[in-house]
Structure 1
Amino acid sequence: MSLRLVALIAVILAFGALSAQAMMDVGYLGIFLVPLESWAGTQVLFDLVIVCVLAIIWMVRDAKVSGVTPWPFVVLTLAAGAFGVLFYLVARDVKAGAKQSA
């Protein structure tokens, strides 16, 4: 297992714990509604939306080279933000590792 894969899994676990805590505190809709209570929060929310859209464009283009089907990760990104991109990177790393060992 590569160091990159271990790091990605660690980030997913840590971010997952943070996300679970946030959802227990405000619920799934609260993740979107709480930031809209201030201009600063709204800016951060829209920043996340822009970054996720750019990441989706990158995943779709990168998938042609890496051979990973991007659509499950696109849907996950639309529903859960950075988790879609993180899991895409894991799938990409696993696929690249499988090619190297074959």
Structure 2
Amino acid sequence: MRTVLILVLAAFGAFTTYAMWQVGYLGIWQAGMGSVGAWQVLLDLIVMSCIALGLIWRDARLTGRTVWPFALLTVAAGSFGPLLYLLLAPRSAARGTLRAAT
């Protein structure tokens, strides 16, 4: 799982860097407001980010991890918060959480 997370984070990070270089941070937001279809995608991403934040918050409470850095990163940069939260999970905490969920 960590290998997949690292690959996704690296590929998405590279693409995000390219997009930021092309249009900037505000340009990404402006593109997300350019049409009704773009608004739908933007709102869908906001809803999913809120769901991810709720799950991160719950898991952090159960495992004793600090949630604030990941919450702030999620608000500012979307998927990077949850991806890093999962990637930086202690191996024992990740196993314990999976057992508790099943």
TM-score in terms of structure 2 length: 0.86
Q: Deviations over 1:11-44 (max 9, x none)?
A: 0000001101111111001111112111111110
Deviation at 1:50, TM superposition (A): 0.6
Residues 35 and 41, structure 1, Cα contact 8 Å, conserved in 2: yes
Root mean square deviation of aligned Cα = 1.7
Q: Is residue 96 of structure 1 aligned with residue 61 of structure 2?
A: no
| Match 1:49 to one of 39, 46, 61 | 46
**Runs of 4+ residues over 4 Å off in structure 1:** 97-100
Q: Which runs of 5 or more structure 1 residues have no equivalent in the other structure?
A: none
Counterpart of 2:91, as a letter, is A
Instruction: Please state whether the residue corresponding to 1:37 is helix, strand or coil.
Output: coil
| Structure 2: tracts of 5 or more residues without a match | 96-102
**C-alpha distance in 1, partners of 2:26/2:32?**
11
2:22 corresponds to 1:22: no
Distance in 1 between the 2:17 and 2:36 partners? 25
Does the CA contact (< 8 Å) of 1:22 and 1:31 recur in 2? yes
Aligned length: 95
CA distance in 1 between counterparts of 2:94 and 2:85 reads: 16
Q: State whether residues 68 and 91 of structure 1, in contact with CA within 8 Å, keep that contact through their aligned partners in structure 2.
A: no
Show the counterpart of 2:99.
none
In structure 1, the partner of 2:28 is 31
| One-letter code aligned to 1:85 | P
1:67 Cα deviation from its structure 2 partner: 2.7
Match of 2:98 in 1: none
Q: Distance in 1 between matches of 2:9 and 2:62?
A: 24
Q: What do the CA deviations read for 1:53-100 (whole angstroms, capped 9, x no partner)?
A: 1111110001122332111000000010000000000111xx124898
